[in-house]
Structures are given as structure tokens and as C-alpha cells.
């Protein structure tokens, strides 16, 4: 069972399937969806996150790619554009490779090729290794600028706005997501991705340095890179600009 949301949009456009970041429930992408005009958008809480119950056993990105295909079948969508954010970027890449005929275009935001990536700062990665920031709002407020960079370095109001959308589920679900990414890499098959791809990166991203986006854009045959003057969460903190760029690409 999955908790799924469908944001209604133009029937004439190809729907957009959105894969969210680690520990992130549906509501956390609300600012971006509010700014995005056009396509119907499908987003869901992965197992163990938000309102989706956790499975007993660990899963892999390939498992979730298959699960996503089944979801699209149930909803009646033959083909979609795909947007993956941060951890969700791994799922987006896996879906585009594994279910290539179902994915028309691909958008990769603030993400990397996986295990063999250019790492962020060690202090940042250690803070991301636990879900404490989702459970402790004061802690999140104190570290948000350090781990996400960009606009969150100097805007407590943006941090508070972000926290209002958090729907925490369980530590177990968070660690399942961490385990799913362990050892996964798209580097061996990025050159086989057939989709036109937009790679987006924040120039002040302490978690996923922009070098990772350059790697993705250089290895995917039909890809281009766009940088945003913001941090890791630019899709939310620069929602209007991000939505405009993505809409133009999808159109």
C-alpha cells in the first residue's frame, strides 16, 4: 500500500512522476507543485515514509522502479516524464533505465550517480546519516543552512516553512532508504539512457556538490546542465525559477 497524491493538470500534456528526497513526504514538494503549471503530477511516499507503511524487508532502487510501474498501471498512465530530487534522483535514473519505454523525458535535480559520487562535506554527511532533523525542529533550524546551503543559510522563515510540511513516520523507514542506496551506482549504464535529460544543480550545495551534476550531464547522451544560484533544496526555495525551467524543458 502506498500513499499517493495526484495534482490535476492539463490532460493534453504528458504527466509528471516525481520521486522525492530521503525522508521526504509528499507535502515537502508543495511549494514546487504550487509553482508548476501544466502537467498532472504524481508523487508518492516511498515505503516507510510519510503515510506509506514500511515493508518488513529492505528494498533496492530496482524494486521501487517496478513498484512505480505498477502504480502507473493502476492510475492508467502509459507514459510519463520523470523528476527525481536528491535521493529520489537515483530512483528516477533507475526508472528511466529499467522502464525506458514508460519515461519520455527525465529531470535530475540535486542528485548524483550514486555510490561512486563526489561526496559532500563529511560533517554534512554525518548529520544526514540520522533522521534527527525531521524529528527535532530546533535541531533542523540550527543545521539547515549548513547541510542544505543556499537560501536556507540566511532565512529562518524558509526553514520554518519547510518544517511545516514535515510528516514524520519512522526512523526505520529512513534507514531503509539509506540501505537502498548503499552500493547503487548508475555510472555503468548512464550512457544508455535514451531520454532527453535536464540536469539541475544548486551552486551552493554542501550535500551533493555540483560536480556530480556535471558527471551526469557529461555521461547521459542527450543531457544539458542548468545551475541555480541556491542550495540543495532549490526546487523548494527557488520554486518559481525551478518550475519555469522545468516547464520549458518538458514542453
CA distance 189 to 219: 9
The residue annotated as part of the active site, out of 52, 68, 86, 213, is 86
Residue 218 is a catalytic residue: no
Paired residues of 201 in beta bridges: 227
Q: In the block, which residue shows the cell 540535486?
A: 110
CA distance 139 to 96: 36
Paired residues of 107 in beta bridges: 83, 198
Q: Where are the alpha helices (DSSP H) in the chain?
A: 30-35, 61-75, 87-98, 122-128, 132-135, 137-148, 156-163, 171-181, 210-219, 234-237, 239-250
The set of cell numbers assigned to 111 is 542528485
For helices 171-181 and 61-75, the axis angle rounded to 10 degrees is: 110
CA distance 18 to 92: 8
For helices 137-148 and 156-163, the axis angle rounded to 10 degrees is: 120
Category of 183 on φ-ψ map: left (φ > 0), alpha (ψ -120 to 50) or beta = left
* Residues annotated as part of the active site: 86
Amino acid at each position: 500500500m502506498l500513499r499517493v497524491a495526484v495534482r490535476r493538470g492539463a490532460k493534453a500534456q504528458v504527466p509528471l512522476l516525481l520521486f522525492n528526497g530521503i525522508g521526504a513526504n509528499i507535502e515537502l514538494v508543495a511549494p514546487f507543485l504550487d509553482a508548476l503549471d501544466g502537467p498532472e503530477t504524481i508523487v508518492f511516499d516511498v515505503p516507510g515514509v510519510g503515510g506509506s507503511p514500511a515493508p518488513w524487508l529492505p528494498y533496492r532502487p530496482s524494486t521501487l522502479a517496478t513498484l512505480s510501474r505498477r502504480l502507473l498501471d493502476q492510475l492508467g498512465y502509459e507514459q510519463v516524464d520523470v523528476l527525481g530530487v536528491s535521493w529520489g534522483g537515483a530512483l528516477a535514473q533507475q526508472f528511466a533505465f529499467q522502464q525506458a519505454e514508460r519515461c519520455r523525458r527525465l529531470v535530475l535535480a540535486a542528485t548524483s550517480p550514486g555510490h561512486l559520487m563526489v561526496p559532500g562535506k563529511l560533517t554534512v554527511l554525518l548529520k544526514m546519516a540520522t533522521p534527527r532533523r525531521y524529528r527535532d525542529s530546533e535541531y533542523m533550524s540550527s543545521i539547515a543552512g549548513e547541510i542544505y546551503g543556499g537560501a536556507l543559510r540566511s532565512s529562518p522563515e524558509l526553514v520554518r516553512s519547510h518544517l511545516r510540511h514535515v510528516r514524520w513516520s519512522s526512523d526505520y523507514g529512513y534507514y531503509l532508504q539509506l540501505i537502498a542506496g548503499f552500493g547503487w551506482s548508475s555510472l555503468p549504464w548512464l550512457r544508455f539512457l535514451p531520454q532527453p535529460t535536464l540536469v539541475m544543480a544548486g551552486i551552493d550545495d554542501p550535500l551533493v556538490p555540483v560536480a556530480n551534476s556535471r558527471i551526469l550531464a557529461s555521461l547521459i547522451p542527450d543531457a544539458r546542465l542548468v545551475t541555480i544560484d541556491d542550495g540543495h533544496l532549490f526546487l523548494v526555495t527557488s520554486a518559481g525559477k525551478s518550475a519555469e525551467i522545468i516547464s520549458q524543458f518538458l514542453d
